[in-house]
C-alpha cells in the first residue's frame, strides 16, 4: 500500500489556515510596513526640492522627524511580526510532534509491508525546514512583494510612462521568471528530497546492522551502495539547481535591465521637464527597492521549493492509513475472553490469499498453538484478532461480541501482542510499567515471574532506574524478551497473542515462559505462534498449516521442531 502526496500549494494553504489569525496580522503588518517604507523616498523627494529652492531649515527638520517616527513604527511592527512568527513556529513544531506520536502506534499493518516506520519518521526533521522557510516567506517575501506592489503603484502616479514600466515588470516577473523558467523545479526538488531520505535510510541500516558491514564483503557492499545513493542525490540536486538557477539568473537580469532602463527613462523625462529632479530621485530609490525585492525572489523561490517538498514529506506521515479507531461497545468483562473465528479469510497488502475460510473456537482460559508452513498466514491471524488488520471476509467474536462492534479502546485494554524486541529507550522500570501507576513491588514481582528474580542485577547488569537503549542493546536477546513479557504481565490482558516470541529465547528463559503460560491460563486466553514442540505441548489445541490448508488437533504436538 502506497501513501499519496498531493498538491504542495494546497498543503501550504491548509497549514496557514490553522494559523489564519496570526498570518493575517503578519500580512497586515507587512502592508503597513510597505507603506511606511515609502516615507523615505517621498521625504527625499521633498528634501531635494526644498534644498533646490534654498528655503528655510524648518521643512528639513520636519521631514527628518517624520522619517524618525516612521522608522520607530517600522521597528515596532517588525518586532511584533517576529514574535508572532515565533509563536507560529512553536505551535507548528508541537502540533507536528504530537500528531505524529498520536498516529504511529495505530499505523495500518498493510503500510508496514511497504515502509519501515523509523525511516518514515525521519521526515519529522523537515519540521525545521518548514518552520524556518515559512517564517522567511512571511517576514521577508510577503513584505517584499507588498512593498514592490505599493512602490509600483506610487511611481505609476509620477508619469504614464512609469505605468508602462510597471506593466512590463509584472509581465516579465510573474509569467516568465516565476513560472516558465522554473516550471520543472518543484518536481526536481521532490526527487532531490526523496534521494536525500534514501541516503539517510541506508546510513541507518549501516548503523543498525553494523556487525554485517564490519566484514570485508559487507563493508565493500555498504560503501558501494552508499556511493550509488549519494550519486543519485547529487544528480537530483544538480537537476534541481539547473532549474532554480535559471530563475535566479533571470531575476538578476531583471535587476540589471530594469535599473538601467528606468534611470535612462527618468533622466529623459527630467530633461523634457515632465518630471522634477526630486521626483526622479524618489522614483529611482523606489525602483531600486522594488528591483532589489524582486531579485530576492530568486532566493525566496528556493525557500518555497524547500518548504513545498518538506510539507509533502510531513503530510506523508499525516496521511498514513490507520487502523479504524472506532467507537462501540465497551462491555464490563473481566478475566480471560473466549475467541471464536468463523470463515475467516486474510490477505496481505498485495492481495495474496494466505488464510481462507478458517474457523476455530478457543474457550476462555485456553491456549491455541499455531504452527506449520504458513508463517505469514499465522501472523495475519494474530494481526486480525488484535484488530490491526481488516479481514477480507469472515467474523471474529470475542466473548460472543462481534469484534467490529467493540470499542477500539476496549480491544487495546484487553489484548496484548508479543512480537519481537519491543524495548524502547528509557529506564528498565519505564519499559515494564509504561504508565507510572504501578508500585515498584509489582514491577519486581513481574520480573521475578519471567525469571529475572533474585539475580536481577546480575542478569541485567543494571538497576530498575538505569537506562536501556532502543532494542535493549546492553541485554542479551532472551533477557530483552523477558523484560517485554514482564510488561505484558502488568497489563493483565484478557487475550495474549504471541507471534514466534518464545522461539527466539534460550532454554533457561524458556523454562520460565512455560511456567508463566501455566500460571496465566487462569485469567488469560492465549494464541501462540511457535515452532517449538515443547511450547506446543503446553497448548490445549494446535492449528497446523500445510500448503495453505489447516487442521486443528486437540492433542498437543510433541517431538521435533515444526516448520
pLDDT of residue 195: 94
Q: Given this model, what pLDDT does residue 559 score?
A: 45
Question: What's the pLDDT tens digit per position in 306-328?
Answer: 998 898 888 888 778 777 777 88
Residue 255 CA, distance from chain mean position:
39
d(Cα 204, Cα 262) in Å, to the nearest integer? 56
* Domain architecture of the chain: domains with CATH: 8-318 (1.20.1560.10), 339-553 (3.40.50.300)
- What is the C-alpha separation between 236 and 219, in angstroms, rounded? 26
Least confident of 254-258, 362-366, 478-482: 254-258
In tens, the pLDDT along 395-422 reads 999 998 999 999 988 999 999 999 988 8
- On the CB side of 506, CA atoms within 13 Å amount to 7
Output the pLDDT for position 115: 75
Query: Which pLDDT belongs to residue 15?
Result: 80
Highest mean pLDDT out of 23-27, 141-145, 156-160, 286-290? 23-27
Written as nine digits, the cell of 167 is: 506593466
Task: Write the DSSP symbol of residue 159.
Answer: -
Q: What is the pLDDT of residue 460?
A: 52
Name 497's bridge partners: 417, 527
Which of 105-109, 347-351, 528-532 ranks highest by mean pLDDT? Answer: 528-532
pLDDT one-digit tens code per residue, 44-77: 767 766 666 665 677 777 778 888 888 888 889 9
- Mean pLDDT for the stretch of residues 193-200: 92
pLDDT given for residue 457 in this prediction: 44
pLDDT of residue 563: 57
Are the CB atoms for 39 and 67 separated by under 8 Å?
A: yes
Q: What would the pLDDT profile of 550-561 be if each residue is shown by its tens digit?
A: 888 875 555 445
Ramachandran quadrant class, 394 (left: phi over 0; alpha: psi -120 to 50; beta: rest) = left
pTM metric for this prediction: 0.78
pLDDT bin (cut points 50, 70, 90) of residue 5 is low
**How far is Cα 65 from Cα 233, in angstroms, rounded to an integer?**
55
Strand, coil or helix: 347: strand
Query: Given this model, what pLDDT does residue 456 score?
Result: 47
Q: Where are the beta strands (DSSP E) in 59-106?
A: none
Residues 6+ apart with CB under 8 A from 89: 131, 134, 135
Mean pLDDT, the chain, integer = 84
117-129 confidence digits (pLDDT tens): 778 888 888 898 9
Q: Write the DSSP symbol of residue 407.
A: -
Over range 149-157, report the average pLDDT.
83
Q: Convert the pLDDT of each residue in 502-542 to its tens digit.
A: 988 888 888 888 888 888 888 899 999 999 998 999 999 99
Amino acid at each position: 500500500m502506497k501513501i499519496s502526496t498531493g498538491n504542495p500549494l494546497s498543503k501550504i494553504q491548509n497549514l496557514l489556515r490553522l494559523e489564519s489569525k496570526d498570518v493575517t496580522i503578519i500580512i497586515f503588518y507587512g502592508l503597513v510596513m510597505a507603506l511606511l517604507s515609502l516615507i523615505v523616498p517621498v521625504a527625499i523627494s521633498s528634501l531635494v526640492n526644498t534644498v533646490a529652492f534654498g528655503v528655510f531649515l524648518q521643512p528639513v527638520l520636519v521631514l527628518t522627524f517624520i522619517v524618525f517616527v516612521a522608522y520607530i513604527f517600522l521597528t515596532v511592527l517588525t518586532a511584533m511580526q517576529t514574535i508572532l512568527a515565533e509563536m507560529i513556529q512553536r505551535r507548528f513544531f508541537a502540533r507536528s510532534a504530537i500528531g505524529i506520536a498520536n498516529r504511529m502506534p495505530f499505523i495500518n499493518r498493510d503500510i508496514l509491508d511497504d515502509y519501515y516506520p523509523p525511516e518514515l519518521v525521519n521526515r519529522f526533521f523537515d519540521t525545521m525546514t518548514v518552520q524556518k522557510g515559512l517564517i522567511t516567506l512571511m517576514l521577508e517575501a510577503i513584505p517584499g512583494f507588498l512593498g514592490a506592489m505599493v512602490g509600483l503603484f506610487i511611481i505609476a502616479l509620477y508619469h504614464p510612462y512609469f505605468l508602462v514600466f510597471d506593466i512590463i515588470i509584472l509581465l516579465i516577473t510573474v509569467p516568465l521568471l516565476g513560472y516558465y523558467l522554473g516550471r520543472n523545479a518543484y518536481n526536481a526538488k521532490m526527487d532531490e528530497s526523496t534521494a536525500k531520505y534514501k541516503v539517510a535510510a541506508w546510513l541507518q541500516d549501516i548503523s543498525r546492522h553494523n556487525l554485517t558491514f564490519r566484514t570485508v564483503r559487507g563493508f565493500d557492499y555498504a560503501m558501494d551502495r552508499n556511493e550509488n545513493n549519494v550519486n543519485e542525490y547529487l544528480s537530483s540536486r544538480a537537476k534541481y539547481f539547473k532549474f532554480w538557477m535559471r530563475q535566479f539568473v533571470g531575476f538578476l537580469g531583471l535587476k540589471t535591465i530594469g535599473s538601467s532602463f528606468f534611470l535612462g527613462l527618468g533622466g529623459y523625462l527630467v530633461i523634457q521637464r515632465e518630471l522634477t529632479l526630486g521626483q526622479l530621485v524618489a522614483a529611482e530609490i523606489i525602483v531600486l527597492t522594488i528591483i532589489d525585492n524582486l531579485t530576492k525572489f530568486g532566493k525566496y523561490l528556493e525557500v518555497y521549493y524547500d518548504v513545498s517538498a518538506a510539507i509533502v514529506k510531513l503530510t506523508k506521515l499525516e496521511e498514513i492509513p490507520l487502523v479504524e479507531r472506532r467507537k462501540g461497545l465497551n462491555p464490563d468483562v473481566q478475566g480471560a475472553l473466549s475467541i471464536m473465528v468463523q470463515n475467516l479469510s486474510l490477505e496481505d497488502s498485495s492481495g495474496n490469499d494466505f488464510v481462507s475460510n478458517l474457523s476455530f473456537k478457543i474457550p476462555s482460559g485456553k491456549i491455541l498453538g499455531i504452527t506449520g508452513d504458513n508463517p505469514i498466514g499465522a501472523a495475519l491471524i494474530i494481526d486480525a484478532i488484535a484488530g490491526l488488520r481488516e479481514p477480507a471476509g469472515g467474523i471474529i467474536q470475542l466473548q460472543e461480541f462481534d469484534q467490529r462492534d467493540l470499542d477500539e479502546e476496549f480491544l487495546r485494554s484487553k489484548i496484548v501482542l508479543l512480537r519481537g524486541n519491543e524495548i524502547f529507550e528509557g529506564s528498565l522500570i519505564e519499559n515494564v510499567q509504561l504508565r507510572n501507576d504501578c508500585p515498584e513491588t509489582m514491577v519486581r514481582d513481574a520480573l521475578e515471574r519471567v525469571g529475572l528474580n533474585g539475580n536481577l542485577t546480575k542478569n541485567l547488569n543494571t538497576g530498575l532506574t538505569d537506562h536501556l537503549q532502543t532494542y535493549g542493546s546492553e541485554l542479551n536477546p532472551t533477557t530483552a524478551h523477558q523484560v517485554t513479557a514482564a510488561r505484558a504481565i502488568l497489563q493483565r490482558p484478557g487475550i495474549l497473542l504471541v507471534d514466534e516470541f518464545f522461539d527466539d529465547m534460550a532454554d533457561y528463559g524458556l523454562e520460565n515462559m512455560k511456567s508463566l503460560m501455566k500460571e496465566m491460563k487462569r485469567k488469560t486466553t492465549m494464541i501462540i505462534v511457535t515452532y517449538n514442540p515443547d511450547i506446543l505441548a503446553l497448548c490445549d489445541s494446535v492449528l497446523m498449516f500445510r500448503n495453505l490448508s489447516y487442521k486443528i488437533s486437540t492433542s498437543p504436538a510433541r517431538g521435533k521442531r515444526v516448520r
